[in-house]
Amino acid sequence: MIAPNAQERLTQIVEPLLFWYQKNKRSLPWRDQPTPYRVWVSEIMLQQTQVARVGRFWERFLSAFPTVDALAAAAVPDVLELWQG
């Protein structure tokens, strides 16, 4: 259980942070329809490059492999070809 003063402090931090996010968030394709698969692919790509570069690669990758089943069934060379860059 969180102590009452800690809960109050948490509220003081969280509310402004959520307000800031709503005001400043970027429009990103994986946020439009956030499924676990779409977000997972974006997170892996974002670990490797900048957000500005991920968008076009993410869209191309998801067009080729729209589901985790499609990705699992794909040949490794096909996946690597779309992943590179």
Establish whether 59 is a catalytic residue: no
* Cα angle 67-69-75, degrees, rounded to a multiple of 5: 105
Annotated catalytic residue within 15, 43, 59, 81: 43
Q: Tell me how far apart the alpha carbons of residues 12 and 47 are, in angstroms, rounded to a whole number.
A: 31
Q: Tell me how far apart the alpha carbons of residues 82 and 85 are, in angstroms, rounded to a whole number.
A: 8
DSSP-based three-state secondary structure for 35: coil
Q: Tell me how far apart the alpha carbons of residues 42 and 58 are, in angstroms, rounded to a whole number.
A: 7
Residues annotated as part of the active site: 43
